[in-house]
Structure 1
């Protein structure tokens, strides 16, 4: 947490404005000047790496069922516009398509590997191979709620950058991330940042801090003031504007209360 300003990463692309995890959402993030994008990767029945958050397609498309039970060609027949119906037709993208879209930019890509419910044997190797083949290794950080997956990524490629995703109340989270998971960064839900001593411990152990999913302006202000390394949000344009208004790294308790009460 020693950079000058907090980075803004677009959560599933600029998903406040376009169907999440689609090429249009990622293109909009580029146009809005985001510093990076966050996406989710799963694997089809025929081994294609596809970008979608849920293990099923029901919430985001006009289809039903598990990603793992469809081939990629079968998934392409569905319309993935359900979170923003003003977009008339959206195909599920492959990870390779997103890489190729983002490659000409300078954006970071946070690849969340979705192995929490479906384990997808071999997905870690496939993701690493694709990233290497497309020359994106220096631009990608891998994260997962499945900490076995994060550790496996490091075992397969010790140079890979990884982030430990988690949601609630891990005791000694920073030490656990460093010593057990071997992660380069912590990716907590936003409220974890305010656990006593957490920010200080991240700095002591030199771990990056990428915080999700921050959509309320008052929370954006607090985390920018705290100087977190990246703020993951559905609204990158708003976060960028707020980010540019704040000094960094000196979050005071009275400021937290003032912002929360505003």
Structure 2
């Protein structure tokens, strides 16, 4: 891994441009391609297990239907994840524990997005922090979410955790908002970099910036020129070549 990159490369849901998103195979490929980190999404199953999947339902990425939070771990493990990305094969939904077991063997960053903005999962924050602490991986983790109440709870549970706000379109000075909350970073979409004064506001607030999802060469270049600490991309190998 090239340690000297000013803009780090984080694999979005793993190397999801090449393998089904949020699968062990996608994360393993991100490691092989030399990414500096990975980004993943966490929900909670009906029996309280931490599940790595993006949507609130399994419909888009598996051969099943229904809410993640209404299915047991056993039921979720029986589903086949979509194989739209090559190569063909059988892919399964991983647990957070499985992904952490893999990532602890590396020095890569792990960005966990807490997916509790629509479906609320009581105790999720405590469970995630416990899992990470048991693995002694605290230094490798940063937590992001559109649910800023959840990020504040993470800070209340452990003041040392690194956090980053996700936000939607049209916010005025989200960097100042994040700083007032004691958040460490902003996680803007690529197009947010074109908002008036956004880059300057982030710099003035002294926050880190991790930008998603930059796949096109011109977008990756824009993230690099903005001085972001990380670019989050489906194609880590392409981003590495450009940054």
Band of TM-score, shorter chain: over 0.9
Please say which of residues 77-86 and 96-105 is displaced more in the overlay: 77-86
Root-mean-square deviation (Å): 1.2
Residue 18 of structure 2 contacts residue 86 of structure 2 at CA under 8 Å; is this kept in 1?
no
Q: Deviations over 1:48-78 (max 9, x none)?
A: 0010000100111111111011100111111
**What SS does the corresponding residue of 1:138 show, helix, strand or coil?**
helix
Please say which of residues 193-202 and 7-16 is displaced more in the overlay: 193-202
Residues 225 and 69 of structure 1: is their aligned pair in 2 closer, same or farther, counting only changes over 3 Å? same
Residues 56 and 83 of structure 1: is their aligned pair in 2 closer, same or farther, counting only changes over 3 Å? farther
Tell whether 2:18 aligns with 1:17.
yes
Q: Quote how far apart the aligned CAs of 1:87 are.
A: 3.0
Aligned equivalent of 1:105? 106
Residues 199 and 11 of structure 1: is their aligned pair in 2 closer, same or farther, counting only changes over 3 Å? same
Q: Quote how far apart the aligned CAs of 1:152 are.
A: 0.9
Instruction: Give the alignment's TM-score, normalised by structure 1.
Output: 0.89
Tell whether 2:211 aligns with 1:211.
yes
Residue 81 of structure 1 contacts residue 88 of structure 1 at CA under 8 Å; is this kept in 2?
no
Residue 215 of structure 1 contacts residue 233 of structure 1 at CA under 8 Å; is this kept in 2?
yes
Residues 38 and 98 of structure 1: is their aligned pair in 2 closer, same or farther, counting only changes over 3 Å? same
Instruction: Give the alignment's TM-score, normalised by structure 2.
Output: 0.96
Residue 96 of structure 1 contacts residue 130 of structure 1 at CA under 8 Å; is this kept in 2?
yes
Q: Distance in 2 between matches of 1:147 and 1:64?
A: 28
Q: Distance in 2 between matches of 1:120 and 1:172?
A: 29
Aligned equivalent of 1:236? 236
Q: Quote how far apart the aligned CAs of 1:224 are.
A: 0.8
Q: Quote how far apart the aligned CAs of 1:84 are.
A: 2.5
Aligned equivalent of 1:259? none
Runs of 4+ in 1 over 2 A off after TM superposition: 81-87
What number of residue pairs does the alignment pair up? 240
